[in-house]
């Protein structure tokens, strides 16, 4: 997802792409689903709208890099951002 100034999801085409860990959810109606989220730049658990996170996650078309930074500093998935990350979630599980 793209991280805004307050660490919440925003829409800047992937230029502020970041990651977060979803640890829970709050369900109201289908249009009002919220996620409990930890983001590495904040010490606090946040509550984000599922809708806002989905829109931001489906908006990953570019990646931001600092002026002069080489593209070789990045590990991109097969297919680049559009095919490799755009609109996807990564599920982590424990192997026992």
Task: Tell whether 96 is covered by a domain.
Answer: no
Instruction: List helix spans (H) across 35-79.
Output: 50-57
Task: Tell whether 14 is covered by a domain.
Answer: no
What confidence category does residue 34 fall into, taking pLDDT thresholds of 50, 70 and 90?
very high
What confidence category does residue 40 fall into, taking pLDDT thresholds of 50, 70 and 90?
confident
The residue segments making up the domain with residue 63 are: 20-85
Rounded CA-CA distance 96/92 in Å is 13
Give the residue-averaged pLDDT of 52-65. Answer: 89
pTM above 0.75, yes or no: yes
Terminal Cα-to-Cα distance of the chain (whole angstroms): 30
DSSP 3-state of 24: strand
pLDDT number for residue 20: 92
Give the residue-averaged pLDDT of 59-79. Answer: 82
In total, how many domains does the chain have? Answer: 1
Task: Tell whether 12 is covered by a domain.
Answer: no
pLDDT number for residue 85: 83
């Amino acid at each position: 997802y793209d991280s805004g100034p307050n660490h919440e999801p925003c829409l800047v085409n992937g230029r502020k792409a970041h990651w977060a860990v979803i640890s829970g959810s709050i369900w109201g109606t289908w249009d009002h689903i919220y996620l409990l989220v930890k983001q590495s730049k904040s010490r606090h658990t946040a509550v984000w709208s599922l809708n806002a996170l989905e829109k931001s996650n489906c908006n990953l078309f570019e990646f931001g890099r600092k002026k002069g930074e080489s593209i070789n500093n990045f590990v991109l998935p097969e297919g680049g951002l559009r095919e490799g990350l755009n609109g996807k979630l990564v599920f982590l599980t424990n192997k026992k």
